[in-house]
């Protein structure tokens, strides 16, 4: 599960394996090994990934499948727009 989430989040954020590796100060082959399931990131790397992708470590590790987003830096109106959008998506799934 973690390996799929890393790849999905990396691609969704428009990052190559090399870009992500540079942000984490590791090699591209390390990121590739994670995504292929050959190895797992260290605890420190999981924490860094959570910060880079603005998700919780619980989400990355599959403890909590409910994703969260950071609203840091947004004003009240912008947060309201995000809440309305999320609610519309939920309504459309019913």
| Angstrom distances, CA of residue 5 to CA of 1, 18, 46, 77 | 6, 17, 11, 30
Give per-residue pLDDT as tens, 14-55.
999 999 999 999 999 999 999 999 999 999 999 999 999 988
The pLDDT value recorded for residue 67 is 64
* Contact between residue 65 and residue 56 where contact means Cβ atoms under 8 Å apart: no
Tokens 């990121």, residue? Answer: 31
* Contact between residue 55 and residue 46 where contact means Cβ atoms under 8 Å apart: no
Structural domain boundaries of the chain? 2-67
Residue 64 pLDDT grade (very low, low, confident, very high; cuts 50, 70, 90) = confident
Residue with the larger pLDDT of the pair 14 and 65: 14
For the four alpha carbons of 12, 18, 19 and 25, in that order, the dihedral sign comes to positive
CATH tag, 2-67: 1.10.260.40
The pLDDT value recorded for residue 65 is 66
The pLDDT value recorded for residue 55 is 87
């Amino acid at each position: 599960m973690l390996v799929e989430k890393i790849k999905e989040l990396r691609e969704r954020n428009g990052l190559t394996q090399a870009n992500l590796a540079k942000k984490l100060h590791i090699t591209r082959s390390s990121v590739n090994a994670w995504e292929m399931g050959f190895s797992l990131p260290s605890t420190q790397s999981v924490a860094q990934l959570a910060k880079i992708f603005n998700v919780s470590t619980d989400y990355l590790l599959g403890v909590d499948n409910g994703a969260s987003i950071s609203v840091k830096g947004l004003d009240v109106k912008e947060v309201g727009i995000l809440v309305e959008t999320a609610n519309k998506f939920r309504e459309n799934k019913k």
